[in-house]
Amino acid sequence: MKALSLFANIGVAEAYLNEIGIEVTVANELIERRAQLYSKIYPEAKMIAGDIMSDVIFKKIINVSKKKKIEIVMATPPCQGMSTAGQQQIDDTRNYLILPVIEIVKELNPKYVFIENVPNFLNTDIAIDGERILIPDLIRKELEKNYVINIYTVNTQDYSVPQVRERAIFLLTRKDQKHEWVLPKKEAAIVTMRDAIGDLPFIDPYIKDVTEEERQKIFPEYERRKKNALEISHWNIPPHHVKRQVIAMQHTPTGCTAFDNPEYYPIKDDGTPVKGYRNTYKRQNWDTAAYTVTMDNRKISSQNNVHPGRLIGKDNEGRELYSDPRTLTLYELMIIMSLPTDWPVPKSTSEAFLRRIIGEGIPPLFVKKVFMNIFSEE
């Protein structure tokens, strides 16, 4: 089956679809840099770069999709206007991107439609002809004549993804189809961080604000561990951090925040205590799925970003020391996001750029399992 991917970014969502007989033949992405990388990863797809709200781009999407005989539309519009991590401004222009999606569905009349966003998508209203309407009610109003519409709130950890990530999912089935598209059943076992990355070796961070001599004193095994890490993957890169944050995390146990440390409390560059949320300066847990990967996943000072670590001994003052006082490497993030480890991203791609993109995406293993259910007769 042939699919159109709207708000495609660099194609995180569709990483496995070709394996199950779904070919994304047309894609649209606003930002040129992302569109170019998408084309390098998926050279067989026709990428239409530009603003979907533009009449020219909209018509091009329609015309190319009709020629390609698109049967599935998948839309993953930006969530920043609705996410609890954002400002949630009323009438954020990004909240209105559902409108061209609805019009494209009307024009193409595909067999199936997949729409996903943050859970607050279900509670967001927009102004249409002077009246406010919830986005789910608008979708029903405009499309339920021709489509069976199933709406879900899901957590991707229920589908073998080693990450807690809640999403709103719309599965639309054209009424002339024999098989109604529904969500697959939840899976009993949770894939934990230990399952996902527990077999990877220790990696020390690169401390960027000290001399080479001091860096060697703090992490005498840095170069050897870096070499071992990069033998696993080009993307298994030791992150860069500042000394004061690294020292705090060295003394922070698995699953805990450095704000609970009686000593080695997080401090600013001037030595004063940091004021922050308890989900920052926080190590993840080995025996649960990872916390939601955010766009700001490079920072120790951001939400739930620090490697779980392992107890490795004590310092000269008898205090416990933990390994991996750092954020996750990009390779570890790819695993947590359920991306294929051989995903063909050019090695010249910026690590910072990729980190941000991954934080915006939906885990592709979950998408694969949902799309497999198109072919299920259960």
Determine the 3-state secondary structure of 56 from DSSP. Answer: helix
Strands 311-314 and 240-241: unpaired
Give the type of residue at 326. Answer: R
Which member of 79, 104, 197, 362 is catalytic?
Answer: 79
Q: What is the DSSP letter of 80?
A: T
Q: 176-179: long-range contacts (C-beta < 8 A, 24 or more apart)?
A: 177/111, 177/112, 179/374, 179/376, 179/377
Q: What's the number of CA atoms in the CB half-sphere (13 Å) around residue 266?
A: 22
Q: What is the DSSP letter of 177?
A: -
Name which of 45, 35, 46 is nearest 10 in CA terms.
Answer: 35
- Spell out a b/e string for 137-147, using b for 16 or more CB atoms within 10 Å of the CB, else e: ebbbebbeeeb
Beta strands in the chain (DSSP E): 2-6, 23-29, 46-49, 72-75, 112-117, 125-128, 131-134, 147-155, 166-174, 206-207, 240-241, 311-314, 320-322
Strands 131-134 and 125-128: antiparallel
Structural contact between residues 5 and 13, judged by C-beta atoms closer than 8 angstroms: yes
Distance in angstroms (rounded) separating the CA atoms of residues 95 and 120 = 11
In this structure, how many other beta carbons lie within 10 angstroms of the beta carbon of residue 54?
A: 12
C-alpha triplet 265, 269, 271: angle, nearest 5°: 50
Residues with Cβ within 8 Å of 7's Cβ and at least 6 positions away in sequence, in order, are 28, 29, 30, 52, 75, 76, 77, 78, 97
256 counts as catalytic? no
Active site members? 79
